[in-house]
Each structure stands twice: as C-alpha cells, then as structure tokens.
C-alpha cells in the first residue's frame, strides 16, 4: 500500500507540474491560430439538460463557422467548463478557463446566480464575458456604465418579460386577478418582483403567491388553493420540467381550461402540450425564442439541429448558437482577437439575428424582443415580438 500511495503522490505531483507547464507554455495564446472560446454551463447537476443544449448549440455554430473557413482565418475552439449550476463551481470553472486554458472569450452561464458570481472574475482578468441565457436584470444593471466593462448580455431580461406578459393578459384577456406559482430561484423570484412593479399600471392584484423548489412534483395542494382563490390566471415563471406536472395536476383538481398559465416555462413545446393539452390551452408565454418562430434563419436552425441531434432544439440551444455567431461577427469586424478591439466592435455591432437586429445599449445589454405566444388548439400561435427600453436604476 505504501508503494501504491507513493505512486499516487507522484501522479498528483506530476499533475501539478503538468498544470504549471501548461500555464506557462500557453503564454502566447493566439499563436496557434485559433480563437479559444470558453463555455461555462451546467453540464452536471439538476440543470444538466440546459448545459447539454447550450453546448450543442455552441458547437454547431462553431462547426458552421469553421467549415466556412473560420473567422479571419482562425478556427473557433470551444472549451467547456462545468458550473453544475452553482456559483462556486461556476467561478472555479471560469478561473480555470481563464488561467489555465487561456481562453480569449467566455460565454456563460445559464443560471443567473452563477453569472452574477462570474462577473467580477471576468472583470478582474479583463476577459470578455458574453452571457447568452441568464435573465436576471441585475446582471446588466451592473454592466457597462453600471460598472463591469467586460460583461455583455445577448438575452432579454425578466423586466421586459414580466411587463409584456402582464400587458397582454390585461389588455387582450381582461385579467386583473392573478395567482403566482413560480420556481424558487433568482429567475422565478426576480420575474415576480418585476411583475409586482407593473401591477398597479394594469390595476391588477396578486391573490396568492407560492414558490416551488426545483424538482417539486406535488402541486395539488397549491392548485386547489388557487382554484378556491378566484384567480383568473396563474403567473408561472418556472422550469420547463415542471410544466407537464403542473398541467396534469391542474386537470386533476379541475382547473384545466378554466385558469390559464401565463409567464414562461416552455409551455409551447410539443411534449408539454401533449402531457396536458386541456391545461395548456390558452397558456400565454413570453420567450426569447421558440422553435415555431417564423423566420428563415430560425427555421433553418431548427431543421439543421433536429437533423444533427435527432431532437428539437430548445431556447438554450438557440441562444448559444446565435451568440457564438454574434461573437464571430464581432471578431471579424474587429479584424483581430484583441479583447479591447472585440469589445469595441461588440458595442457598435449591428447583427442580424433570427429574431431581429441585435444592438447593445450603454449597459452592454442587447436590445432584444420577447416573443409573445398563446397556445390555441394545441399549437403555439405567435402574437407578436415586443421590445422595451429598460428603465435602469439610477
């Protein structure tokens, strides 16, 4: 056993020396003619599904760019880091990408709390952090003129989302009384916080307010309470995985078809609708993107992704695919992978995305529309794309 240990000790020693060798030899990071792009996403843990979609989307974009000759002759090399959906692991993965892999740019994370933790790390290192999927408004409140110069976000925020959902429900449906059933996370809570901000504008009120933990499976008690409360709609900012469960249990307590779901939790996917067609009929959702979106570019993406992975893409696959292309365009316009120049290019970019033109405001927040849809006869019907200038706290 002693020999065993010393061998192990030796291995660990070698590994450390190896790390050292790697980090010093990779000093000239751009010499090998690639663009090193770090991708931080939850590859394991409860949100692993989001990470898998993100990675596939990003890799697909990188492959498309590389097959077309790369950006300015450089190939994009995606290096993945696992955040496990927790801030600590996210920071660890980010530092590893920056210090050891010497990446030029980072895209990440999905979870807002992880992104918030990554911001100061990227700022300290002067590495561009381009977020593609976190919706908490605070991220860009603190970016650009707000402080973090190196954080950009190519994703609409909950602030915008909360407003348009409420507006559509009030103006088109005439709802004024709501029940809240959202996920207990920065995303679910922040979305409700902003909903409350806009409630008085539509003379509406919240009758019951509940938050569920990721992985919750029994909503019957809450749904019965909502049934008896007199609410006209359920505001739900949740995880995609809870939607079929909530839908089925809505049918069970007898509110399916009477009290619709509004908000965001992948109400529009075929699998959600199939699980509880009656409960999801009339659901209203605001999403950054959905597979049914009507545009040439979007349809081509869905087709290609589905052919390649035998599975329809979700929102996270799309936004990461689009964001890699966006970054490539910025690098092309900067005609360099110099971080300063790419950042300047990004600030001034006019990029034609599948959902419209992308430009960044002085908080490094992309001006992006939220797409509003309603489920009619078992199919998502797009009711419009809404953009809003964000009202930054002074």
Partner 1 sequence: MTSAASPAVRRGPDLRIPFGFALVALACVAPLFLGNYPLHAIIIALIFLLPAHGLNLLLGYTGLLSLAQAAFFGIGAYASALLAVHFGTPFYLNFLAAGLVTGAIALPLGIPALRLRATSFVMCTLGFVIIGQAIAKNWISLTRGDMGLAAIPKPYFALGPASFTVSGTVGFYYLVLAIAALATLAVYLIVRSPAGRNMIAIRENETLAESVGIPTWHYKLVVFMISAVFAGLGGSLYAHYLTVVSPLTFQMYYSTTMLIIVLGGGAGTISGVIFGSLLFVGLTEALRVAPELRMIAYGFFLLALVFYFPNGFAPLIGRFWSFLERRK
Partner 2 sequence: MFYTVIEQIVNGIVSGSVYAIVAVGMTMIFGVLRAINFAHGEYYMLGTFGAWFAIDYFDLPYPAAIVIGVVATAVIAVVVGNFVMQRIVGAPAEAGVLATLGVALILQNTIILVFGGSYKFFSGGYIEPVSLFGFTLAEQRILIIIVGLIVFVGLELMVTYSRIGKAMRAVSQNIECCAVVGIDVRHVALWTFILGACLAALSGVLTAPVNVSVYGGMGELITFKTLPIIIMGGLGNVRGTFVAAMILGIAESLVATYVGLQFRDTVGFATLMLVLMWRPHGLFSAQARF
Subset of residues 30 to 59 that bind partner 1, contact rule: CB under 8 A: 43-44
Q: Which is nearer to partner 2, 253 or 388 (CB)?
A: 253
Give min distance, CB of 147 to partner 1, in A.
Answer: 9
In the chain, helix, strand, coil percent, each to 5?
50, 20, 30
DSSP per residue, 250-296: HHHHT-TTTS-EEEESSTTSHHHHHH-HHHHTT-EEEES--TT---H
At 340, give phi and psi (nearest 5°): -55, -50
Give min distance, CB of 88 to partner 1, in A.
Answer: 6
Q: Which of 64, 184, 332, 338 binds partner 1 (CB under 8 A)?
A: 184
3-state DSSP assignment of residue 24? helix
Contact between 181 and partner 1 per CB under 8 A? no
Closest CA to 57 of 301, 287, 245: 301
Alpha-helical regions (H) of the chain: 2-25, 48-67, 87-95, 112-125, 138-141, 158-173, 186-198, 220-229, 243-253, 270-275, 277-280, 296-309, 315-334, 339-347
Q: Which of 66, 100, 167, 176 binds partner 1 (CB under 8 A)?
A: 100
Q: Which is nearer to partner 1, 99 or 171 (CB)?
A: 99
Tell me the C-alpha distance between 106 and 323, whole Å. Answer: 11
Q: Which one of the spans 73-81, 267-275, 290-298, 299-307 is the region binding partner 2 (CB under 8 A)?
A: 267-275
CA angle 386, 352, 325 (to 5 degrees): 115
Subset of residues 238 to 277 that bind partner 1, contact rule: CB under 8 A: none
Q: Among partner 2, partner 1, none, what binds residue 252 when CB lies within 5 to 8 Å by partner kind?
A: partner 2
Q: Among partner 2, partner 1, none, what binds residue 309 when CB lies within 5 to 8 Å by partner kind?
A: none
Subset of residues 147 to 186 that bind partner 2, contact rule: CB under 8 A: 181, 184
Binding mask 184-223 for partner 2 (x = CB under 8 A): x------------------------xxxxx-xxxxxxxx-
Q: Which of 26, 45, 77, 96 binds partner 2 (CB under 8 A)?
A: 45
Task: Say if CB 243 and CB 265 are below 8 A apart.
Answer: yes
Give min distance, CB of 336 to partner 1, in A.
Answer: 25
Q: Which of 117, 133, 165, 358 binds partner 1 (CB under 8 A)?
A: 117
Give min distance, CB of 226 to partner 1, in A.
Answer: 20
3-state DSSP assignment of residue 151? strand
Tell me the C-alpha distance between 323 and 155, whole Å. Answer: 9
Q: Which is nearer to partner 1, 81 or 260 (CB)?
A: 81
Size of the site for partner 1 (CB under 8 A): 42
Q: Among partner 2, partner 1, none, what binds residue 264 when CB lies within 5 to 8 Å by partner kind?
A: none
Strand partners, 236: 263
Query: What element of type H or E holds 118?
Result: helix 112-125
Subset of residues 46 to 85 that bind partner 2, contact rule: CB under 8 A: 46, 48-49, 51-52
120 CB burial (10 A radius; 0-12, 13-18, 19+) = middle
Give min distance, CB of 254 to partner 2, in A.
Answer: 5
Q: Which of 49, 63, 189, 339 binds partner 1 (CB under 8 A)?
A: 189
Query: What element of type H or E holds 35?
Result: strand 34-41
Burial 302-337 (b: 16+ CB within 10 A, else e): beebeeeeeeebbbbbbbbbbbbbbbbbbbebbeeb
Closest CA to 133 of 331, 321, 378: 321
Q: Among partner 1, partner 2, none, what binds residue 153 when CB lies within 5 to 8 Å by partner kind?
A: none
Q: Which of 107, 116, 163, 371 binds partner 1 (CB under 8 A)?
A: 116
Task: Say if CB 313 and CB 301 are below 8 A apart.
Answer: yes
Contacts with partner 2, residue ranges (CB under 8 A): 44-46, 48-49, 51-52, 181, 184, 209-213, 215-222, 224-225, 228, 240-242, 244-245, 248-249, 251-254, 271, 274-275
Contacts with partner 1, residue ranges (CB under 8 A): 1-2, 5-6, 12, 15-16, 19-20, 23-24, 43-44, 80, 82, 86-88, 91-93, 95-96, 98-100, 112-113, 116-117, 119-120, 124, 136, 138, 142, 184-186, 188-190
């Amino acid at each position: 056993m002693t020999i065993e240990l010393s061998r192990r000790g030796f291995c660990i020693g070698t590994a450390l020396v190896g790390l050292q060798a790697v980090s010093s030899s990779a000093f000239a990071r751009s010499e090998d003619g690639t663009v090193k792009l770090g991708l931080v996403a939850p590859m394991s843990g409860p949100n692993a599904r989001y990470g898998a979609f993100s990675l596939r989307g990003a890799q697909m974009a990188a492959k498309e760019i590389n097959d077309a000759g790369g950006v300015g002759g450089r190939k994009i090399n995606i290096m993945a880091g696992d955040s496990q959906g927790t801030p600590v692991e996210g920071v660890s993965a980010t530092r590893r990408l920056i210090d050891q892999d010497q990446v030029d740019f980072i895209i990440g994370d999905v979870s807002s709390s992880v992104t918030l933790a990554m911001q100061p790390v990227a700022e300290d290192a002067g590495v561009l952090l381009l977020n593609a999927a976190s919706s908490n408004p605070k991220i860009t409140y603190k970016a650009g003129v707000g402080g973090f110069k190196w954080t950009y976000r190519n994703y609409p925020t909950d602030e915008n989302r909360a407003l348009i959902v409420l507006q559509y429900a009030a103006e088109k449906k005439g709802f004024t009384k709501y029940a809240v059933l959202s996920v207990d996370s920065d995303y679910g809570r922040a979305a409700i916080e902003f909903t409350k901000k806009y409630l008085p504008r539509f003379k509406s009120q919240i009758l019951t307010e509940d938050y569920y933990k990721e992985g919750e499976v029994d909503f019957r008690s809450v749904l019965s309470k909502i049934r008896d409360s007199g609410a006209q709609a359920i505001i739900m900012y949740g995880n995609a995985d809870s939607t079929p469960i909530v839908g089925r249990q809505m049918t069970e307590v007898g509110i399916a078809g009477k009290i619709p779901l509004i908000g965001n939790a992948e109400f529009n996917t075929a699998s959600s609708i199939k699980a509880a067609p009656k409960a999801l009929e009339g659901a209203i959702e605001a999403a950054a993107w959905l597979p049914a979106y009507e545009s040439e570019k979007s349809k081509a993406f869905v087709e290609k992704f589905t052919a390649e992975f035998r599975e329809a893409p979700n929102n996270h696959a799309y936004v990461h695919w689009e964001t890699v292309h966006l970054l490539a365009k910025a690098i092309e316009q900067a005609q360099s992978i110099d971080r300063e120049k790419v950042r300047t290019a990004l600030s001034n970019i006019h990029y034609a995305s599948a959902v419209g033109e992308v430009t960044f405001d002085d908080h490094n927040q992309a001006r992006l529309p939220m797409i509003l849809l309603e489920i009619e006869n078992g199919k998502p019907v797009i009711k419009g794309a809404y953009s809003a200038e964000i009202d930054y706290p002074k």
